[in-house]
Amino acid sequence: MTSKKKCVVVTCFSQHQPGFLDFSYRIQALAEQYELTIISQDVLTQTELQIAGAEYIAIGRFHGKLGWLKYLWLAARIIRKNQPDVAVLLHSSAAPMVMMVGNIPTCLYWNEHPTNLIHLPESKSLRYLITAALHQLVFMGARHADVVMPIGEEHRDELLKRGCKPSRVNMIYMGVDDRFAQVQKLSPTGDKLCLIYVGSISIPRGRDVMLEAMNIVAQQSIPVKLSMVGADAEQLQICQSYIDAHHLADYLEVHGRVPGTAIPAMLANADAGICLWEDRPWWRFNPPTKLFEYLVAGLPILASDIRTHTRYVVNGRNGIIFAYHASALADAIVALYQSKSQIDVMSESAKTAGLVHLWSQIKPVFLQAVKRVEKI
């Protein structure tokens, strides 16, 4: 029996990481092919990230920009010591490690724009210059990686613009577990339109826009119910207070965070999904995971007008595009309710658009990209 080659995976999860599925798909796939070591800041307790037989190393979490670089240096030191056949850096913020690991082949998963990792100050100052230099350091890592794997077209085009060699840039979508394609819609709930939002429930991600939009819809007595899934304790309290103050219990319900594996069953209760992001520069690069989960599950999408939505959602075909404010979302909800007879057609269009995002299609492409650069 041939022994497996060695792979070290480096994660860079934030303390408030909302989801882990795209990372878990890749880690599980690598575990099938390699003897795996997984490096993280915190001890990984998430169900999605538990891999039988893998070695886990938790280095610890350090504060600030220097703490980030310290973590990368310590992780790189482990890689240099272990001398694996390949290292997979599972986050854009790990890019500087490429220059720290010596001659170890590196694959870089490019899922965040540097301006989202470290926000530039509004006014030019010494802090501004340091932050801009750190952005360049991240892009430098991408240019030196043996292969960099952006998750979408906007990221790919930006990497090429920033000097990455086309032969080393391999765009690979995040992927959606095939279980999302097997979602069986539950029986319609009468005349009511059932909507779902899955993800971080914060102001920049449209929390207040959704709350206010549902209040507008309720005032029109449109039979709609929105389930918001993914709130932390503080967000739960804020949302529930709004629901109580505006008597929206029949229109809104809010849930805490759930394991990614529980999401498909929750989508079965919905007629459509909501994606909305405030138009910030970095989100013009980052398509949200939930958008593809909705598509694969056959949910038409109500999506705010930002290019990482409009690239995948065609207005009137597999969803409705709206401007990022409460009245526009309310109008989109009412429009979808008034065209409920077309939801099945839109659902089929969503499923068709989602086919290229199935992990079963993406997995062999990802593994081949890693294998191509490993030590011979």
Residue 233 is predicted with a pLDDT of 92
CB 354 within 8 A of CB 176: yes
Which residues make Cβ contacts (< 8 Å) with residue 252, sequence separation at least 6?
211, 214, 225, 226, 228, 239, 243
CB 298 within 8 A of CB 318: no
Among 44-48, 128-132, 146-150, 231-235, the range with the most confident prediction by mean pLDDT is 146-150
Question: How is residue 44 annotated by DSSP?
Answer: -
Q: How confident is the model at residue 123 (pLDDT cuts 50, 70, 90)?
A: confident
pTM of the model: 0.90
Residue 10 has pLDDT above 50, yes or no: yes
Average the pLDDT over 23-35 and give the result.
Answer: 96
CB 305 within 8 A of CB 323: yes
289-297 vs 343-354: helix axis angle to the nearest 10? 120
Reported in sequence order, the residue ranges of the chain that DSSP labels E, i.e. its strands, are 5-10, 34-40, 55-58, 86-89, 106-110, 147-150, 193-198, 224-231, 252-256, 272-275, 301-304, 319-322
Residue 237 has pLDDT above 70, yes or no: yes
Sheet holding 193-198, edge to edge: 252-256, 224-231, 193-198, 272-275, 301-304, 319-322
Average the pLDDT over 50-69 and give the result.
Answer: 94
Q: How confident is the model at residue 118 (pLDDT cuts 50, 70, 90)?
A: confident
Six token digits for residue 57: 């190393």
The 3-class secondary structure across 258-293, one letter per residue, is CCHHHHHHHHCCCCEEEECCCCCHHHHCCCCHHHHH
Residue 154 half-sphere exposure, CB side, CA atoms within 13 Å? 18
End-to-end CA distance of the chain: 18
Residue 152 has pLDDT above 80, yes or no: yes
pLDDT tens track for 188-229: 556 899 999 998 899 989 999 999 999 999 999 999 999 999
326-338 vs 207-219: helix axis angle to the nearest 10? 50
Residue 16 has pLDDT above 80, yes or no: no
The letter for the amino acid at 370 is V
CB 314 within 8 A of CB 352: no
Residue 1 has pLDDT above 50, yes or no: no
Distances (CA, A) of 229 to 148, 223, 235: 32, 20, 11
Average the pLDDT over 29-44 and give the result.
Answer: 96
Which residues make Cβ contacts (< 8 Å) with residue 124, sequence separation at least 6?
none
User: How far apart are the C-alpha atoms of 239 and 228, rounded to whole Å?
Assistant: 9
User: How far apart are the C-alpha atoms of 229 and 231, rounded to whole Å?
Assistant: 6
Q: Provide the mean pLDDT of the chain.
A: 93
Sheet holding 55-58, edge to edge: 55-58, 34-40, 5-10, 86-89, 106-110, 147-150
Residue 38 has pLDDT above 70, yes or no: yes
User: How far apart are the C-alpha atoms of 9 and 11, rounded to whole Å?
Assistant: 7
